[in-house]
A and B are shown apart, each in its own frame.
Chain A
Amino acid sequence: RKEVEQDPGPFNVPEGATVAFNCTYSNSASQSFFWYRQDCRKEPKLLMSVYSSGNEDGRFTAQLNRASQYISLLIRDSKLSDSATYLCVVITTGGFKTIFGAGTRLFVKA
Protein backbone atom coordinates (compact mmCIF):
# COMPACT_ATOMS: atom_id res chain seq x y z
CA ARG A 1 0.00 0.00 0.00
CA LYS A 2 1.34 3.45 -0.89
CA GLU A 3 1.95 5.86 1.97
CA VAL A 4 -0.19 8.52 0.32
CA GLU A 5 -2.93 7.61 -2.14
CA GLN A 6 -4.98 9.81 -4.42
CA ASP A 7 -7.55 9.15 -7.10
CA PRO A 8 -5.57 9.91 -10.27
CA GLY A 9 -8.65 11.09 -12.15
CA PRO A 10 -8.87 12.77 -14.49
CA PHE A 11 -11.78 14.81 -13.28
CA ASN A 12 -13.50 16.59 -16.16
CA VAL A 13 -15.85 19.31 -14.94
CA PRO A 14 -17.57 22.33 -16.50
CA GLU A 15 -16.77 25.86 -15.45
CA GLY A 16 -18.62 26.82 -12.32
CA ALA A 17 -18.80 23.28 -10.96
CA THR A 18 -17.78 22.22 -7.48
CA VAL A 19 -15.24 19.41 -7.34
CA ALA A 20 -13.73 17.54 -4.40
CA PHE A 21 -10.57 15.46 -4.12
CA ASN A 22 -9.65 13.07 -1.36
CA CYS A 23 -6.29 11.77 -0.26
CA THR A 24 -5.58 9.00 2.23
CA TYR A 25 -2.38 8.42 4.18
CA SER A 26 -1.22 5.30 5.94
CA ASN A 27 1.07 6.59 8.71
CA SER A 28 -0.89 7.70 11.74
CA ALA A 29 2.18 9.60 12.98
CA SER A 30 1.90 12.04 10.09
CA GLN A 31 1.82 15.59 11.35
CA SER A 32 1.80 18.12 8.52
CA PHE A 33 -0.39 18.16 5.45
CA PHE A 34 -0.51 20.28 2.32
CA TRP A 35 -2.03 20.55 -1.11
CA TYR A 36 0.29 21.55 -3.94
CA ARG A 37 -0.65 22.35 -7.51
CA GLN A 38 1.40 21.33 -10.53
CA ASP A 39 0.73 22.65 -14.01
CA CYS A 40 1.77 20.59 -17.01
CA ARG A 41 5.57 20.37 -17.27
CA LYS A 42 5.99 22.90 -14.47
CA GLU A 43 7.22 22.64 -10.91
CA PRO A 44 4.79 22.15 -8.01
CA LYS A 45 3.62 25.17 -6.04
CA LEU A 46 1.99 25.32 -2.63
CA LEU A 47 -1.77 25.74 -2.82
CA MET A 48 -2.60 25.57 0.86
CA SER A 49 -1.81 23.97 4.19
CA VAL A 50 -4.32 21.63 5.79
CA TYR A 51 -5.37 21.80 9.44
CA SER A 52 -7.74 19.77 11.57
CA SER A 53 -9.85 22.87 11.99
CA GLY A 54 -10.12 23.25 8.23
CA ASN A 55 -8.61 25.90 6.03
CA GLU A 56 -10.36 28.10 3.49
CA ASP A 57 -8.79 30.37 0.89
CA GLY A 58 -11.30 31.93 -1.46
CA ARG A 59 -12.82 29.17 -3.56
CA PHE A 60 -10.62 26.50 -2.01
CA THR A 61 -11.31 24.60 1.22
CA ALA A 62 -9.06 21.95 2.73
CA GLN A 63 -9.99 19.58 5.53
CA LEU A 64 -8.11 17.02 7.60
CA ASN A 65 -9.72 13.98 9.23
CA ARG A 66 -7.10 12.42 11.50
CA ALA A 67 -9.37 9.62 12.71
CA SER A 68 -9.94 8.37 9.17
CA GLN A 69 -6.52 9.48 7.93
CA TYR A 70 -7.61 11.45 4.94
CA ILE A 71 -7.46 14.99 3.71
CA SER A 72 -9.71 16.66 1.20
CA LEU A 73 -9.70 19.62 -1.14
CA LEU A 74 -12.88 21.30 -2.31
CA ILE A 75 -12.88 23.72 -5.23
CA ARG A 76 -16.00 25.82 -5.72
CA ASP A 77 -16.98 27.74 -8.86
CA SER A 78 -14.26 26.06 -10.95
CA LYS A 79 -12.34 28.22 -13.42
CA LEU A 80 -10.54 27.18 -16.59
CA SER A 81 -7.32 28.22 -14.84
CA ASP A 82 -7.89 25.61 -12.14
CA SER A 83 -6.96 22.90 -14.66
CA ALA A 84 -3.87 21.26 -13.20
CA THR A 85 -2.68 18.29 -11.16
CA TYR A 86 -3.33 18.55 -7.43
CA LEU A 87 -0.79 16.87 -5.18
CA CYS A 88 -1.47 15.74 -1.65
CA VAL A 89 1.58 16.08 0.61
CA VAL A 90 2.23 14.49 4.01
CA ILE A 91 5.09 14.96 6.47
CA THR A 92 5.66 12.36 9.17
CA THR A 93 6.58 13.14 12.75
CA GLY A 94 10.17 12.52 13.66
CA GLY A 95 11.50 12.88 10.18
CA PHE A 96 11.65 15.28 7.33
CA LYS A 97 10.72 12.95 4.57
CA THR A 98 8.07 14.57 2.43
CA ILE A 99 5.65 12.17 0.80
CA PHE A 100 3.82 13.37 -2.30
CA GLY A 101 0.79 11.62 -3.64
CA ALA A 102 0.80 10.80 -7.34
CA GLY A 103 -1.66 13.61 -7.97
CA THR A 104 -5.20 14.08 -9.19
CA ARG A 105 -5.65 15.63 -12.62
CA LEU A 106 -8.40 18.20 -13.07
CA PHE A 107 -9.67 19.52 -16.39
CA VAL A 108 -12.14 22.40 -16.29
CA LYS A 109 -14.04 22.87 -19.55
CA ALA A 110 -15.74 25.94 -20.92
Chain B
Amino acid sequence: GAGVSQSPSNKVTEKGKDVELRCDPISGHTALYWYRQRLGQGLEFLIYFQGNSAPDKSGLPSDRFSAERTGESVSTLTIQRTQQEDSAVYLCASSPRSSAVGGEQFFGPGTRLTVL
Protein backbone atom coordinates (compact mmCIF):
# COMPACT_ATOMS: atom_id res chain seq x y z
CA GLY B 1 0.00 0.00 0.00
CA ALA B 2 0.95 3.66 -0.13
CA GLY B 3 3.45 4.88 2.42
CA VAL B 4 3.78 8.25 4.08
CA SER B 5 4.12 11.02 1.54
CA GLN B 6 5.44 14.52 2.01
CA SER B 7 5.42 17.60 -0.15
CA PRO B 8 7.25 19.44 -1.41
CA SER B 9 10.35 17.24 -1.54
CA ASN B 10 12.54 20.31 -1.70
CA LYS B 11 11.86 23.90 -0.75
CA VAL B 12 14.17 26.87 -1.13
CA THR B 13 12.99 30.09 0.44
CA GLU B 14 14.31 33.46 1.47
CA LYS B 15 14.87 34.43 5.06
CA GLY B 16 11.75 35.95 6.55
CA LYS B 17 9.27 34.12 4.33
CA ASP B 18 6.68 31.66 5.62
CA VAL B 19 6.67 28.04 4.47
CA GLU B 20 4.13 25.25 4.74
CA LEU B 21 5.09 21.60 4.63
CA ARG B 22 2.58 18.83 4.10
CA CYS B 23 2.38 15.24 5.30
CA ASP B 24 -0.04 12.54 4.16
CA PRO B 25 0.10 9.65 6.65
CA ILE B 26 -0.69 6.04 5.95
CA SER B 27 -4.44 5.57 5.91
CA GLY B 28 -5.74 4.39 9.28
CA HIS B 29 -2.71 5.50 11.25
CA THR B 30 -3.85 7.45 14.29
CA ALA B 31 -0.47 8.79 15.40
CA LEU B 32 1.55 11.35 13.44
CA TYR B 33 4.95 12.89 14.26
CA TRP B 34 7.06 15.69 12.88
CA TYR B 35 10.84 15.72 13.25
CA ARG B 36 13.66 17.96 12.12
CA GLN B 37 17.04 16.61 11.05
CA ARG B 38 19.88 19.00 10.49
CA LEU B 39 22.78 17.92 8.30
CA GLY B 40 24.84 15.22 9.98
CA GLN B 41 22.70 15.21 13.10
CA GLY B 42 20.01 13.05 14.66
CA LEU B 43 16.28 13.52 14.55
CA GLU B 44 14.79 16.26 16.72
CA PHE B 45 11.20 15.67 17.86
CA LEU B 46 8.89 18.59 17.06
CA ILE B 47 5.25 17.60 17.60
CA TYR B 48 2.98 14.56 18.00
CA PHE B 49 -0.69 14.08 17.11
CA GLN B 50 -2.81 11.17 18.35
CA GLY B 51 -6.35 10.97 17.02
CA ASN B 52 -8.46 13.83 18.32
CA SER B 53 -6.38 14.36 21.46
CA ALA B 54 -4.52 17.60 22.10
CA PRO B 55 -1.15 17.44 20.35
CA ASP B 56 2.14 17.21 22.22
CA LYS B 57 3.91 20.39 21.11
CA SER B 58 6.77 20.13 23.56
CA GLY B 59 9.41 19.86 20.84
CA LEU B 60 8.54 22.95 18.82
CA PRO B 61 11.64 25.18 18.99
CA SER B 62 9.86 28.54 18.89
CA ASP B 63 6.48 30.17 18.36
CA ARG B 64 7.37 30.55 14.68
CA PHE B 65 6.61 26.85 14.33
CA SER B 66 3.08 25.48 14.32
CA ALA B 67 1.36 22.37 13.05
CA GLU B 68 -2.16 21.23 12.40
CA ARG B 69 -3.84 17.97 11.67
CA THR B 70 -7.44 17.40 10.73
CA GLY B 71 -8.71 14.23 12.37
CA GLU B 72 -6.51 11.35 11.33
CA SER B 73 -5.56 12.72 7.95
CA VAL B 74 -3.21 15.27 6.47
CA SER B 75 -0.94 17.40 8.63
CA THR B 76 0.77 20.67 7.82
CA LEU B 77 3.81 22.15 9.51
CA THR B 78 4.13 25.90 9.15
CA ILE B 79 7.27 27.88 9.79
CA GLN B 80 6.79 31.63 9.90
CA ARG B 81 9.51 34.20 9.27
CA THR B 82 12.03 31.53 8.36
CA GLN B 83 15.61 31.83 9.57
CA GLN B 84 18.75 30.25 8.16
CA GLU B 85 18.96 27.91 11.16
CA ASP B 86 15.63 26.42 10.07
CA SER B 87 17.40 24.80 7.12
CA ALA B 88 17.04 21.05 7.61
CA VAL B 89 15.15 17.99 6.45
CA TYR B 90 11.68 17.86 8.00
CA LEU B 91 10.48 14.31 8.42
CA CYS B 92 6.96 13.14 9.08
CA ALA B 93 6.10 9.71 10.48
CA SER B 94 2.85 7.93 11.16
CA SER B 95 2.04 4.96 13.34
CA PRO B 96 -0.99 2.72 13.75
CA ARG B 97 -0.82 3.34 17.48
CA SER B 98 1.03 5.58 19.86
CA SER B 99 4.75 5.07 20.22
CA ALA B 100 4.25 4.92 23.97
CA VAL B 101 2.94 1.40 23.51
CA GLY B 102 5.54 0.42 20.98
CA GLY B 103 4.03 1.36 17.66
CA GLU B 104 6.47 1.35 14.76
CA GLN B 105 6.83 4.70 13.09
CA PHE B 106 6.78 4.79 9.30
CA PHE B 107 8.62 7.75 7.87
CA GLY B 108 8.03 9.79 4.79
CA PRO B 109 10.91 10.80 2.50
CA GLY B 110 11.12 14.23 4.09
CA THR B 111 11.10 17.82 2.87
CA ARG B 112 14.51 19.40 2.45
CA LEU B 113 14.18 23.06 3.43
CA THR B 114 16.87 25.57 2.53
CA VAL B 115 16.60 29.11 3.83
CA LEU B 116 18.82 31.55 1.98
Contacts and interface: CB of A to CB of B under 8 A. Distances in A.
B108 interface: yes
B101 interface: yes
A97 B105 contact: no
A87 B91 contact: no
B104 A97 contact: no
Interface string A60-103: 00000000000000000000000000010001010111111111
Contacts, number: 56
7 contacts: A43-B108, A87-B42, A96-B48, A96-B98, A97-B58, A97-B59, A102-B42
Interface size class of A (residues with CB under 8 A): 20 to 34
Interface of A: 31-32, 34, 42-46, 49, 87, 91, 93, 95-103
Interface residues of B, number: 25
A97 B98 CA distance: 10
A47 B110 CA distance: 19
B109 A32 contact: no
